[in-house]
A = this chain, B = another copy of it.
Amino acid sequence: MAINDLSKDLAPIASITMADVVEVKLREYLKKKSFLPGDALPKELELAEALGVSRNVLREALSRLRMLGMIETKKKRGMVLARPDILGTFERVLDPLIIDKETLQDIFELRLVLEMGLADLIYVRKTDKDIAELENIAKKEVNLDNSFRIKNEIAFHGKLYEMSGNDTLKRFQIMLLPIFDYVVTLEKKPTRGKINHMDLVQILKTGSKADFKKGMEAHLKPHFDRLK
């Protein structure tokens, strides 16, 4: 696996610290003891002593887990295991400016893939109400200037994600939006598929899932045409 080789080669750049080790050990500990969310954890001093590190180092590791939402702490009550917000942690590193070009492109493609695969969920869960709302969004965009068109574009596709009935997916899309926009504006051709939003709405109303997939493909074709 080329990926693993790479990470192996690149790993020793920064020497590992005690906090790194403690973080891993804590994670293993939580898993091994099969703690469940809400369970109380030992106190800092006990953990520090058990691990043979200063409270300082331990707290650096705990701080990391706390950031990920894996634990929560209160003044006297101590620490409890919590449910991390898996997307919240992801969001912290999603900045177009610090992501390398290849990964940006990968994420751009990831959104396209999601958008295409969405059809299968949408056709399981779409309701008439959803379609009506979608149509309203599409109708509005007829006479809008450019800045508002972008907002409407986002609203339309966002509604599609919403219609998937999958909250995680919807949030994921919101997070990916800035990256997508960034890549699109890098290449400055205007992108306009042969199928527009109103067409898609019509297909949703009367067409089959296969029709919708074809429509989506046509709608996104300008983006796919950039791939190589």
A residues neighboring B (CB under 8 Å): 3, 7, 13-15, 19-20, 23, 27, 31, 34, 36-37, 56, 59-61, 63-64, 66-70, 72-74, 81, 83-86, 89-90, 92-95, 97-100, 102-103, 106-107, 109-110, 112-121, 124-125, 164, 166-172, 210, 213-214, 217, 224, 227-228
Contact = CB atoms under 8 A, between A and B. Distances in A.
Majority secondary structure of chain A interface residues (helix, strand, loop or mixed): helix
18 contacts: A3-B167, A3-B171, A14-B66, A31-B97, A70-B93, A70-B98, A81-B98, A89-B90, A89-B92, A107-B168, A109-B164, A113-B118, A113-B120, A115-B117, A116-B116, A116-B119, A121-B227, A210-B214
Contacts of A68: 92-93
A197 to B, nearest CB: 19
A101 B97 CA distance: 34
A36 B99 CA distance: 10
Given A14-B74, A15-B74, A113-B114, 9 more contacts: A31-B97, A56-B56, A112-B120, A113-B118, A113-B120, A116-B120, A120-B217, A121-B227, A210-B210
A72 B20 CA distance: 13
Nearest 9 interchain pairs by C-beta: A117-B117, A106-B168, A113-B117, A116-B117, A60-B63, A84-B93, A14-B72, A64-B67, A86-B93
A187 B67 CA distance: 33
A86 B118 CA distance: 23
Oligomer copy total: 2
A118 B70 CA distance: 32
Nearest to A116: B117
A106 B64 contact: no
Contact of A166 (B19, B109, B121): B109
A107 B114 CA distance: 12
A95 B59 contact: no
Given A167-B106, A224-B120, A37 B98 contact: yes
A179 to B, nearest CB: 10
A63 B90 CA distance: 17
A97 B144 CA distance: 48
